[in-house]
A and B are shown apart, each in its own frame.
Chain A
Amino acid sequence: MTFRQFAFNNVLRNKRTYAAYFLSSAFSVMVFFVYAIFAFHPDIAGGKFNPNIATGLHFAEGLIYVFSFFFVLYSMSAFLKTRKKEFGLMVMLGMTNTQLRLMVFLENVLIGFGATISGIGLGLILAKVMLLSAENLLDLEETLPFYLPGKALALTFAAFLVLFVVISMFTVVILRGHKLIDLIKGSAMPKKEPKSSLLLSIFSALLLGAGYAIALSVKGTMVVVAMIPVTMMVIVGTYFLFTQLSVYAINKSRNKRSFFWRKTNMLFLSDLAYRMKDNARTFFMVSILSTVAFAAIGSLVGFKTMSTNLLLKENLFALEYTSYSGPDAQAKRDVETIQNALQADNFDYRMLQSVMIEQKADNSDKSIFIVKASEFNEIAAAAGEQPVQLKDGESMLIYYMNELMGKNATNAYPVSLAGNGIELKPVGSQSSHAYPMYTDYYVVADELYGKLAQADMKTRAFYLFDVPNLKATKNVGKTLDEKFAKGDNRFMSVAYNLSIMNQAYGVVFFIGLFIGAVFFVASGSFLYFRLYADMPDDKRKFSAITKLGLTDRELSGILTKQLLILFFVPIAVAFVHGAVALTSMQNMFGYSLMKTSLTVLGTFVLIQLIYFLSIRVRYIKQVRA
């Protein structure tokens, strides 16, 4: 048996001990790789989508790399800790320090290599499954097709090669300075009592309180100004919440005997203080990352709902055709094409038309648009809007308004027209989405319109097609849109535009959801691995307490409560942070993001709940065994 064979067999014949380390390494490789597949996707990198998406993905990839580094490092040090006794034995049998390090190094390289290969393999499968499910669940047409991810492969391989080599170097640091006696005894020394500072705890509560108060009270554009200081305050506050405030609260509860000495509280809480302190940094990282994911996804869903609603509210007719050169031959041809297309597909439709005069104002270069009251009323009635009542010589100002803009109504203002010197004095103003017009225009009485209209005037012609079954016109819309895309005139199909928007949001949404889900699963696994490392201690402790008399129900009760806190405290914090952030953003847009974002947060909680339940069963079983 050569030394290399020894190191090799040590891993292969000891699979159980190495399994946890191997799996957690493979898991980080997998996550990183799947991300890389998306980030380097030719459709994303090729500018088919917003270039910010690719940048965002690469940034997330960097975060994951840092996360993986600590994850693997922690897994490894926990793994080495459980093997201290074995190392002690080897040193006792005469293994030199160099040989010991070489052995650990070789093992690490072996495990790292295996983990990278299997992580990439699993990642390929996962990516394919995810792309498929995205296609089916989100109803995407222009999905990201599966491709052979050469760049992603190379990056993952190189990144993790470096990671495992660097981490193997760390083993030297971890193993250095251990006396033989410490190695043989293992980690027998009990941990010191977790300490916390009252001052920092108060500081944390103040920062969080103030941050929330500011975020919830500012309105409008001030939100942007307040965003950075509030974010900083909340981040620092959250850090101390986990490292100080939580531990302080638990320690304080010790003095309240009627609470601390009740039933299993004592066992549950005394451990929790240690667990909180040990995991504080993980908690902090997870809750901040989750908050970002929550807020990003929440606002994304919000935006999507908002723009869909806006589109449907403003465009009341299935197809709209606007000729900027008036009712000329080109317009007539196009309208005929539209009618033929609608008839060919057996659509029940009604065409409404209107000619708008464009004139200059007397004292400025401003264009004044004027339509006939009878035409306007017909269209407004079809759109379900209020018609105007005008007597001869009267006019009415129509303005455009949407929910994103302020809620202030535009006041009617008079205007005198160039050329004929007629002055329009509107009797009032009202908002309307009946015409696809985004500037102010005037509706004038038919009699007055007759006076204004002259043969050589510049005009616009509107052709609006009212189809009762609006959503079904997507395909007709698409064909026509492609036909008219090159022309000067405006054509718009609501159903087709809606589907384009859904596609674009769907992809971004899918990536966002995926990023969030991965962070949750990764943090859950991180916690689980820490639990796993502490399990021998837990097992010893609970077997002793069982001898004193602890029922199975009490045991699983204690463990469940602990796991519940470990799993859901970061999410709960992120939930509150995210809710505040979304409320604040809502103040900025003046649009409610609550319902949609709650759905998103609920989904995440559900994922975490499933993960928690599966881990709980396993953990309790293992502690009892």
Chain B
Amino acid sequence: MTEMLSVRQLNKIYGGKVPSRALTDINLSIGDGEFVGIMGPSGSGKTTLLNLVAAIDAPTTGEVLINGKNPHKLKKSELARFRRRELGFVFQDFNLLNTLTVEENIVLPLTLEGERVRTMEEKVTEIAKKLGIESILKKRTYEISGGQAQRTAIARAMIHSPKFLFADEPTGNLDSKSAKDVMEILTAINRSERTAMMLVTHDAVAASYCHRVIFIKDGQLFNEIHCGDSRQAFFQKIIDVLSLLGGNAHDLSTIRV
């Protein structure tokens, strides 16, 4: 398994009148085709980590390599191109453009790249079929449900077949049924396209779809657990670590033991 993402000695300190340390010496690596979850309590630095890795924010020290390239060393316009060619993003609040139809939203990364219309049409049809959103392609974003919106966002993130997909709380705004659909779609894509994925979430159910979950607490790596054969058992393990993180872990485990 080749290394898709490698993070070395990453530190982030937010300046200002009272500097605060958001991340301390983070090291991690994600392999090709791997689906990794990042979990941790509020304020632990999950989103900061995602922002640094996706080059939305710059680290104070340390290095990030995606597919062997350091996005922070790229020029701004190169970075933009790198993003729309090799990275995909899914956000909690979908970030679809209200002025465009579902279909137009999906092809946006390709139009920016100057792709041929024929190719774009083929790709839209293909991905819409895969995600089950063919019937809403002509609709406007305010005419569709949250689950449909998130599937549209996934379609937009995947239409250019990126090597790496970042998902920031993709199930945060969805009901449990839609959340399940979205996670299953992500898993299916991960399996069929071998896209490496990094999922930041609060939701233990969503995290249980990952191959591996990394826990962060107060800006430092806390723990890492792997999915075994059973998703159910993995879910239980995640819950255990979470309660440990919450501070009352010992009480819980003594009760259970």
* A545 engages B54 (CB within 8 Å): no
Could you tell me the distance between the alpha carbons of A561 and B160 in the complex, rounded to whole angstroms?
27
* A270 engages B100 (CB within 8 Å): yes
Nearest-neighbor residue (CB-CB) of B114 within chain A: A263
Choice from B77, B104, B108, B114 contacting A545 with Cβ under 8 Å: B108
Could you tell me the distance between the alpha carbons of A553 and B120 in the complex, rounded to whole angstroms?
23
Query: What are the residues of chain B within 8 A of A270 when measuring CB–CB?
Result: 97, 99-100, 104
Could you tell me the distance between the alpha carbons of A551 and B99 in the complex, rounded to whole angstroms?
20
Could you tell me the distance between the alpha carbons of A343 and B241 in the complex, rounded to whole angstroms?
113
Residue-wise interface mask of A (525-567) relative to B, using a CB-CB cutoff of 8 A (1 in contact, 0 not): 0000000000000000100111111111110000000000000
A266 and B111 contact, Cβ closer than 8 Å, known pairs A191-B98, A193-B140, A544-B91: yes
* A553 engages B77 (CB within 8 Å): yes
* A548 engages B108 (CB within 8 Å): yes
Most chain A CB atoms below 10 A, which of B82, B104, B121, B156: B104
Nearest-neighbor residue (CB-CB) of A193 within chain B: B140
Could you tell me the distance between the alpha carbons of A551 and B107 in the complex, rounded to whole angstroms?
17
* A554 engages B112 (CB within 8 Å): yes
The answer to whether B76 has its CB under 8 Å from any CB of chain A is yes
A261 and B112 contact, Cβ closer than 8 Å, known pairs A541-B97, A549-B82: no
Could you tell me the distance between the alpha carbons of A270 and B112 in the complex, rounded to whole angstroms?
14
Provide the main secondary structure of the chain B interface: helix
Query: What are the residues of chain A within 8 A of B109 when measuring CB–CB?
Result: 548-549
A548 and B156 contact, Cβ closer than 8 Å, known pairs A261-B117, A264-B112: yes
Nearest-neighbor residue (CB-CB) of A260 within chain B: B104
Residues 331 to 362 of chain A near chain B (Cβ within 8 Å): none
* A551 engages B76 (CB within 8 Å): yes
The answer to whether B87 has its CB under 8 Å from any CB of chain A is yes
Could you tell me the distance between the alpha carbons of A288 and B42 in the complex, rounded to whole angstroms?
57
Choice from A263, A273, A541 contacting B111 with Cβ under 8 Å: A263
Looking at the assembled complex, report how far the CB atom of A448 sits from the nearest CB atom of chain B, in whole angstroms.
89
The answer to whether B84 has its CB under 8 Å from any CB of chain A is yes
* A551 engages B77 (CB within 8 Å): yes
Residue-wise interface mask of A (265-276) relative to B, using a CB-CB cutoff of 8 A (1 in contact, 0 not): 111001101100
* A262 engages B112 (CB within 8 Å): no
The answer to whether B85 has its CB under 8 Å from any CB of chain A is yes
Query: What are the residues of chain A within 8 A of B54 when measuring CB–CB?
Result: 547
Query: What are the residues of chain B within 8 A of A262 when measuring CB–CB?
Result: 111, 114, 117
Residues 251 to 289 of chain A near chain B (Cβ within 8 Å): 257-258, 261-267, 270-271, 273-274
Nearest-neighbor residue (CB-CB) of A264 within chain B: B112
Query: What are the residues of chain A within 8 A of B107 when measuring CB–CB?
Result: 261, 266
Query: What are the residues of chain A within 8 A of B120 when measuring CB–CB?
Result: 261
The answer to whether B252 has its CB under 8 Å from any CB of chain A is no
Looking at the assembled complex, report how far the CB atom of A18 sits from the nearest CB atom of chain B, in whole angstroms.
25
Most chain A CB atoms below 10 A, which of B97, B107, B142: B97
The answer to whether A177 has its CB under 8 Å from any CB of chain B is no
Interface size on B, residues (CB 8 A): 32
Could you tell me the distance between the alpha carbons of A550 and B79 in the complex, rounded to whole angstroms?
9
Residue-wise interface mask of B (80-115) relative to A, using a CB-CB cutoff of 8 A (1 in contact, 0 not): 111111010101000101111000100111011010
Nearest-neighbor residue (CB-CB) of B104 within chain A: A266
A190 and B98 contact, Cβ closer than 8 Å, known pairs A266-B104, A544-B91, A550-B112: yes
Nearest-neighbor residue (CB-CB) of B98 within chain A: A190
The answer to whether B141 has its CB under 8 Å from any CB of chain A is yes
Most chain B CB atoms below 10 A, which of A274, A541, A548, A554: A548
Looking at the assembled complex, report how far the CB atom of B60 sits from the nearest CB atom of chain A, in whole angstroms.
21
A547 and B83 contact, Cβ closer than 8 Å, known pairs A261-B111, A263-B114: yes
The answer to whether B188 has its CB under 8 Å from any CB of chain A is no
Could you tell me the distance between the alpha carbons of A544 and B142 in the complex, rounded to whole angstroms?
17
Choice from B85, B95, B100 contacting A549 with Cβ under 8 Å: B85
* A547 engages B56 (CB within 8 Å): yes
Looking at the assembled complex, report how far the CB atom of A335 sits from the nearest CB atom of chain B, in whole angstroms.
81
Query: What are the residues of chain B within 8 A of A544 when measuring CB–CB?
Result: 91, 95, 97
Which B positions have Cβ atoms within 8 angstroms of A? Answer: 54, 56, 76-77, 80-85, 87, 89, 91, 95, 97-100, 104, 107-109, 111-112, 114, 117, 120-121, 140-142, 156
Which A positions have Cβ atoms within 8 angstroms of B? Answer: 189-191, 193, 257-258, 261-267, 270-271, 273-274, 541, 544-554
9 CB contacts below 8 A, A to B, read: A190-B98, A258-B117, A266-B108, A267-B108, A270-B100, A545-B97, A545-B108, A548-B89, A549-B109
Q: Closest 9 CB pairs between A and B?
A: A549-B84, A549-B83, A544-B95, A190-B98, A270-B99, A551-B80, A551-B77, A190-B142, A549-B80
- 8 additional A-B pairs beyond A263-B112, A266-B111, A547-B95, beta carbons within 8 Å, are A274-B99, A544-B97, A545-B108, A547-B83, A549-B109, A549-B112, A550-B80, A551-B80
